[in-house]
A and B are shown apart, each in its own frame.
Chain A
Amino acid sequence: MSDSLHTVTALPTERRTGCPFDPPAELLDARRHGPLSGFTHPGGKPGWLITGYDMVRSVLADPRFSSRKDLMNVVDFQLPPAPPGEFLLMDEPEHSRYRKPLVGKFTVRRMRMLTERIEQITADCLDAMEAAGPSADLVTAFAKPIPTIVICEILGVPYADRASFQEQIDTFMGGEVSDEELIAAYTATQEYLAQLVAAKRAHPTDDVLSELTDSDLTDEELRGISLILLAAGFDTTANMLSLGTFALLQNPDQLAALRADPALTDGAVEELLRYLSVAKTFHRTALEDVELDGHTIKAGTTVVLSYNTANRDPDRFADPHTLDLGRQATGHLAFSHGIHQCLGQQLARVEMRVAFRALIDRFPTLRLAVPAAEVRLRPETADIFGVKSLPVTWDAK
């Protein structure tokens, strides 16, 4: 219980120079004052910021906090409800109606069965990278193509359409483009997905989207689901792969340990998830008055949850700012907690385990091609954190 409440007036817009992997100093500082801080949303609306691990986790598990987009009280106009199928921003029972038919398609077992295919996709990317070497931008050669091809296979995007589809999603997610280009790419993606759903309904093929047409979900809902799989699954994984490689290269002793011991791979992926937490902030809105740490979160107030700061909470993870691939990182919040915990996490794990392993095995001399300070980071205001490009080089064989 804290009598003098620490307040943060806006989310920080920058990380400290030289600390590209750490949450901004203001957030780490807020957590040191206590798990809960006063906060003002960009639209001037009062809110709260939660940075302590235990409190973030308990809010995520608490049904008195809503994920609904139309309840989010952060701007001075009313937000629309989430479109059909986009269940990330819905509560029960709508959320379950969409999530339930999907979970059977993303089980640990099914995702492990995809391992071989993901190994092949990764090997193809590495072959191309090596052939064009001995240097590359790891983002375009490795981090983006792997999750894009994987999601194309899940949605059953035909080979002939892949290049143009990849270009579109690349533009509307993380691309540095004008608003007009962004809207155009977004609309094109929506139209493409609508067409794809119709095609799968008419002629089912061997993929998750076709399987889903055999349910009571409408075409519009299936389009929404496809969009959310794409939006939630592509940029997150791509940034974990590129920022993760950057983090490994900046921690040579950890990289050497991982190289030497393949058994470290699964744990290394969990620790990279914790340490980097690229999906860094999400919102929840109180449905009724809720007491937290002696303060009342009033019904209708939106709280900002800082997953990346919570994952650096020293009360939960000893020496939290050290990347320690051998630590027990399970329980991290990089995939969230509660009913919205990442649907694609088992897929993301397989992608990362396969891709990091294959990359470091293929290029034993992999290193940055520019000084670390010159690696261009995404702005802190981006939803998903990461690097814009990662120039790397290696000794040709």
Chain B
Amino acid sequence: MKAKHLRNRWLGLLPLSLIIFLSGCGQLEMTILDPKGPVSQMQYDLIVYAFWFMIGIIVVVFALFAYMLIKYRENRPGRKDKDYDPNLHGNTMIEIVWTVIPFIIVALLSIPTVTTNYALEKPPEPEAGEEVKEPLVIHATTADWKWFFSYPEQDIETVNYLHIPTDRPIEFRLTSADSMSALWIPALGGQKYNMAGMRTKLYLQADEEGIYDGRNSNFNGEGFAAQTFKVHAEGEDEFNAWVEEVSSEAPELTRERYNELLKPGLTDKETFSSTHLEYLQHHTNEDMGYVVEQYRDLFKEKLHLYEIEKQETWK
């Protein structure tokens, strides 16, 4: 029978797709759902908290929907006269109920949202019994299409890769030399924009050692896909040893070299034993237009980055 046929399809539909996708995803470990630091943990908790409400809403609406379709289709065998009331058009009580409940849900979602919003603007708090550590300051600067990480205290700078100590808050100071971009390390926490002429602050922290993926997540032109980097999170001693090694072995970042690196295009990883901060402050009004003015002609050309896939930062 036609109607039955229809109904079965309707009902089979959504659970089926859910099962397929959920089973497909069980094997994947989804980065955002597998937090590696307190910031991504807070965001994970908020997402999961909201998720249960959403599941609740979905279940209620789907159930009502299925009920209406099954019970009130025109050619259901055994329909009775009382199953049809063409003039039913309101019921104040129930309308109040289904307006108030969403309000309550919104209120329940707002509270943790607001507290998390505020919590993320401060360095993550240490766990009970652990000492408070000063955040490590790292300036993360983007230029089409690469990353500069300057460690002012250590007086070192890396290009397209990042080392951080675990269990210590990192205070990223974000800015851009040209187009708007965003620093995103999903395993450690959400993103924030890098903008020329401005400085934004992002706190992240790794609790587990490991190598994490980081990238620019805000589209900014031809080389966007290649603007990625690896984050090496390592114990404090190891981190200090790395800093030591860089300071003593890497060359200084000269102004000429930095200018060279700012040219629109791709570069490999590099390491320097001084920072660019003394030459240029891209977040200030004076320097925000520097790259555009310097390389106006280069921006005019499409780079035709056909070889983009072979870029080293992807490996």
Q: Do A and B come from the same complex?
A: no
- List residues of A whose CB falls within 8 A of some B CB: none
- List residues of B whose CB falls within 8 A of some A CB: none
